[in-house]
Amino acid sequence: MAISRSQLVKELEPGLNALFGLEYARYDNEHAEIFDAESSDRAFEEEVMLAGFGSAPTKSEGGAVSFDTANETFTARYTHETIALAFSITEEAVEDNLYDRLAARYTRALARSMSNTKQVKAAAVLNNAFAAAGAAGTNPGGDGVSLINTQHPLQSGGFLVNRLATDADLNEASLEQALIDIADFRDERGLRTAIQGMKLIIPRQLQFTANRLMESTLRTSTADNDINAIKNMGVIPQGYTVNHYLNDADAFFIKTDAPNGFKHFTRTPLSTTMEGDFDTGNIRYKARERYSFGFSDPRCVFGTSGA
């Protein structure tokens, strides 16, 4: 349905001092703090996890060398979605508007809507990170379990754990334990990896707590004159980032330096088009883009849903 003069009554009257409601600042591109950007030229992208070799055994003198095999373990798929929104304006509404160009104003509103959808879809990867298999909103990875889980199956027969054994709120003890657990990450054959925590990802409710934990010279919430080991050791070198689209007020995440983790594929960049309709004279505007958000290696993050 086209925007007509009946919806813009005040904009057609002299004496109007201001138009407001479309000029708010917005939280743009917060996804870039989490996801690595790549381009795509197909309907979907797939990334395959490989299992290497186990620990090398001792060879006895004169004995035969042992042989091992390598294989693929799971595949992560990114299926691109098409995001689009449009509006139209009657030619009479355009002709009779007394103040500014309607198209320019509502095109900015269109861009705002497109941006909001992108941030919501990006944050959904973390918002659904704890969902049980089969639950509404679940987004399992290539290994069949949720992003944050205590039972990511390994080729060696064990499990990768990227969640606190007992969920806890953000504090010194829980943050230190998360970093200790990250240092114990194993690969698909059970070999230790040198993966490290790089960035703390938090909802807006935890920004003050995070700042005290990571920027104080001395330990917080204690009378002891101890140094703040998290800050002194530089164990989270990229600091923290606030994502305003996270839903859980006490969940927090640590992004690691594991390669091929969070991915944002762009299939078709954002574009806008405009055309007139011959029969009605209405002018139509459309915004469209195609992309996908997801993750390949669950070692890219460690998290907890909070106490």
8-state DSSP, 162: -
Q: Is 57 left (phi over 0), alpha (psi -120 to 50) or beta?
A: beta
Q: Does the pLDDT at position 76 exceed 50? A: yes
| Residue 135 binned pLDDT confidence (cut-offs 50, 70, 90) | low
Question: Which residue segments constitute the domains of the chain, with CATH numbers given?
Answer: 33-48+74-193+259-304 (3.30.2400)
Q: In the chain, count H helices and then E strands.
A: 5, 12
Sequence-ordered list of residues with C-beta below 8 angstroms from that of 114, at least 6 positions apart, any chain: 83, 85, 270, 287, 289
Average pLDDT over residues 280-299: 93
pLDDT of residue 88: 86
pLDDT of residue 10: 46
pLDDT of residue 138: 63
Q: 185-244: per-residue pLDDT in tens?
A: 999 999 999 999 999 999 999 999 999 999 998 888 777 778 999 999 999 999 999 999
pLDDT of residue 137: 52
CB of 218 closer than 8 Å to CB of 228: yes
Round to whole Å and give the CA distance between 189 and 201.
Answer: 29
The reply to whether the predicted model has a pTM over 0.85 is: yes
Residue 192: C-alpha distances to residues 189, 195, 236 (Å): 9, 9, 20
pLDDT of residue 17: 40
pLDDT of residue 189: 94
pLDDT of residue 15: 44
pLDDT of residue 12: 47
Q: Does the pLDDT at position 38 exceed 80? A: yes
pLDDT of residue 101: 65
Average pLDDT over residues 105-121: 90
Residue for token pair 């927090």: 252
Q: Looking at per-residue confidence, does 99 or 143 come out higher?
A: 143
Pairing of strands 301-304, 252-256: antiparallel
Round to whole Å and give the CA distance between 142 and 144.
Answer: 5
Q: 154-173: per-residue pLDDT in tens?
A: 998 999 999 999 999 999 99
| Residue 3 binned pLDDT confidence (cut-offs 50, 70, 90) | low
8-state DSSP, 156: T
Q: Does the pLDDT at position 8 exceed 60? A: no
